[in-house]
Amino acid sequence: MQVIAGAGRYTPPNDGEPNHWVVHLTTDDLSVGTYSIPEDGLDDQTTHYEDEIYVVYAGTATLVTDSGSAQVGPGAVIFVPPGEKHVFTDVREDFSVLGIFAPPYMSRKPAG
């Protein structure tokens, strides 16, 4: 067992950075991290090819994907399939999500 203290908690980005990502755990089968975007901040993530679950911990935003968009806030649980482009926009309040990837983040390459 491992307790991951502070997972999901908002962390401001370092000077000059638009957001903050910290990895809490990586195993052979999954990874877990916290992604934080300040109010009115920029989500500059690129498409990745792992199954992903977001659990919104703080703040509100709109998640825009290839298949639609939704406003999300604390307690929302979101599944994004591999390869689906997605970005958080209209970030209101400091925003943080717990990101769970299977297999681990950035371990798969695009098909083809």
In terms of Cβ atoms closer than 10 Å to its own Cβ (0-12, 13-18, 19+), residue 95 is: buried
4 inside domain: no
86 inside domain: yes
108 inside domain: no
7 inside domain: no
The domain tally of the chain equals 1
1 inside domain: no
Model confidence, pTM: 0.93
11 inside domain: no
102-111 pLDDT, tens digit each: 999 888 887 7
Q: Provide the residue range defining the domain that includes 94.
A: 20-102
48-97 pLDDT, tens digit each: 999 999 999 999 999 999 999 999 999 999 999 999 999 999 999 999 99
CB of 16 closer than 8 Å to CB of 104: no
15 inside domain: no
The CATH number for 42's domain is 2.60.120.10
50 inside domain: yes
27-55 pLDDT, tens digit each: 999 999 999 999 999 999 999 999 999 99
pLDDT of residue 112: 66
